[in-house]
């Protein structure tokens, strides 16, 4: 079976609901992989430094040192979905660029043996180094389709300008050619719409070089943009909330 290692030159959008308006959009690079590969292009590595790289400990549990695929499988067993561990599991995430990474959100994409999308683990990180995941699926465990909305109660501190209340509404459109993800956070009349979309192409040395030429600072650039938007929100009058303790469990449903 051929290993999957694709590069997505995508675009993300964030738009704030409520009385204080704010929106922005920028280009970003993601990799989608089944993590089974032993090697890739010369400029890419697994678990060692390179121009870009995927390190297992950048994703998954912050409480466990288990191999990340084993961590996913354990989650499925504990949630009663052990029958899906024989399907393919893909990680959609931003890689390290020059050994630096920050992923506001990554996704574990879980298929059954018939290659139908059944579950998604949405893994959220904040700028304080905390991480929490939301397990998304249909109640009847049917295939996840583009026009369906999956919900999860917010339990994790992300933006200091949003309280830990309300819910997330997820939509996923993932194919062999492209990826589209919509996350609509709602807390009464307030909230944020976040989207990511892009076409898949094989990860190559040429695509890596094109990426680092256009966006040489990788996730450092993402962090700078996040802090810049925070400054703008503060000047617009948004209320700052202190960071609470993160949830004691890796994942919620």
Query: Which tens digits make up the pLDDT trace of 31-57?
Result: 999 887 667 899 999 889 999 999 988
Classify residue 251: in a domain, yes or no: no
Question: By residue range, what is the domain housing residue 48?
Answer: 5-238
Q: Which residue has the tokens 């993800």?
A: 181
**Gyration radius from the chain CA atoms:** 18
pLDDT band at 87 (very low <50, low <70, confident <90, very high): confident
Average pLDDT of the residues in 219-248: 89
Residue 126 inside a domain? The answer is yes
Residues forming a β-bridge with 170: 150, 183
Across the chain, the runs of DSSP E, i.e. the strands, are: 5-17, 23-33, 44-46, 52-54, 89-93, 96-97, 105-111, 117-125, 131-137, 150-153, 167-174, 178-187, 190-202, 251-252
Whether 15 is covered by a domain: the verdict is yes
In a domain, 215, yes or no: yes
Q: Is the pLDDT of residue 79 over 60?
A: yes
What are residue 186's phi and psi, to 5 degrees?
Answer: -125, 130
- pLDDT reading at 65 higher than 60: no
Q: Does residue 189 fall inside a structural domain?
A: yes
Establish if 253 belongs to a structural domain.
Answer: no
Give the rounded percent of residues in the chain with a pLDDT score beyond 90: 60
Number of domains forming the structure of the chain: 1
pLDDT at residue 141 above 70? yes
pLDDT of residue 36: 77
Q: Is residue 244 part of a domain?
A: no
Q: Which residue has the higher pLDDT, 87 or 102?
A: 102
- Among 125, 116, 118, 121, smallest CA distance to 91 is for 121
- Is 248 a member of any domain? no
Given a cut of 60, is residue 1 above it in pLDDT?
Answer: no
- For residue 94, the model assigns a pLDDT of 95
Maximum distance among all Cα pairs of the chain, rounded to whole angstroms: 54
- pLDDT exceeds cutoff 70 at 63: no
């Amino acid at each position: 079976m051929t290993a999957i290692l694709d590069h997505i030159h995508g675009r993300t959008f964030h738009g704030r609901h409520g009385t204080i308006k704010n929106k922005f959009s920028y280009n970003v690079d993601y990799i989608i992989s089944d993590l089974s590969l032993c090697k890739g292009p010369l400029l890419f590595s697994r678990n060692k430094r390179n121009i870009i790289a995927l390190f297992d400990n950048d994703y998954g549990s912050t409480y466990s040192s288990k191999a990340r695929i084993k961590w996913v499988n354990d989650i499925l067993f504990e949630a009663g979905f052990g029958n899906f561990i024989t399907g393919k599991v893909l990680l959609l995430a931003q890689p390290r660029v020059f050994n630096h990474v920050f992923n506001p959100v990554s996704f574990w994409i879980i298929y059954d043996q018939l290659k139908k999308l059944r579950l998604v683990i949405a893994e959220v990180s904040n700028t304080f180094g905390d991480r929490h995941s939301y397990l998304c699926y249909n109640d009847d465990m049917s295939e996840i389709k583009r026009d369906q909305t999956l919900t999860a109660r917010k339990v994790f501190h992300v933006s200091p300008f949003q309280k830990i209340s309300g819910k997330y509404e997820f939509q996923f459109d993932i194919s062999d050619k492209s990826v589209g993800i919509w996350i609509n956070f709602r807390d009464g009349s307030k909230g944020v719409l976040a989207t990511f979309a892009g076409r898949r192409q094989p990860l190559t040395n040429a695509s890596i070089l094109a990426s680092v030429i256009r966006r040489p600072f990788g996730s450092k650039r993402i962090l700078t943009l996040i802090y810049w938007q925070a400054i703008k929100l503060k000047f617009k009058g948004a209320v700052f909330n202190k960071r609470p303790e993160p949830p004691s469990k890796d994942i919620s449903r």
